[in-house]
Amino acid sequence: MNLSFLSNPEPLYRFLVKALCSAIYAPKFRGFEQIPDTGAAVLICNHVSYVDGLVIATGSKRPVRFIIDQEIYNIPVLHYLMVCNRAIPILPTRESVIQALEEIAAGLRAGDLICIFPEGQLTYTGSLGRFKTGIESIIKRTPVPVYPIALSGLWGSIFSRKYIGSFRRFFPRILSQPVQAICGPAIPPEQVSVNFLQKAVLRLKYQL
């Protein structure tokens, strides 16, 4: 019996993520072939729902490490999956941010693909929120290309905040809800700023 997944659970994690995403949604991906097969890079994306990472991981041909709120990271069962994913937890405290930046830099130096949601929280309106400056600190510290991604179709799902506080959130509009994700071309590190990145993601949203 092959028990290799016990020592390296990431392939099993990726298989389960893709199976779950395909079962819940009908995802369509554009431009994800631009993400390099190897080498360090950062993905940025609008933050619509709690399953945005699930969709991105499904569209990527290589493992993606996600920056995630530590309180969510520590939820039982989900915590195990986040460990398999080698996710990087973070809290809005100076000590936590410093530790996360160290881990992100180490991951990028090792050639990892890391995803961050620069809004810093899920949208309450479905619109793109203001990007925070953390992404600038990451790229300034470890200059790597940034790939913008935009998602659509998740606003109004039970995993979004559209119907927060209402029972309607537990009744998705349709089964196999169509979800789209589009990835734009690489942005060189010397062009990275929150304004430039926000405009890049907004342009992609208009293409969905």
| pLDDT at residue 170 in the model | 55
Q: What's the pLDDT tens digit per position in 23-57?
A: 788 899 999 999 999 999 999 999 999 999 999 99
For residue 8, pLDDT over 80 is answered with no
How many angstroms separate the CA atoms of 78 and 75, rounded? 5
Torsion of CA 17, 19, 25, 28, to 10 degrees: 80
Average pLDDT over residues 104-133: 96
For residue 146, pLDDT over 70 is answered with yes
For residue 6, pLDDT over 60 is answered with no
For residue 119, pLDDT over 90 is answered with yes
Q: What's the pLDDT tens digit per position in 158-180?
A: 888 887 766 655 555 545 578 99
Given CA atoms 91, 94, 95, 100 in this order, what sign does their dihedral have?
A: positive
For residue 97, pLDDT over 50 is answered with yes
Select from 121, 124, 116, 106 the least CA-distant residue to 148: 116
* φ, ψ of residue 42 in degrees (nearest 5): -120, 135
pTM: 0.89
Fold of 4-206: Glycerol-3-phosphate (1)-acyltransferase (3.40.1130)
Q: Where are the domains of the chain?
A: 4-206
How many angstroms separate the CA atoms of 100 and 64, rounded? 16
Amino acid at 197: L
Angle of helix 52-59 versus helix 10-24 axis, rounded to 10: 110
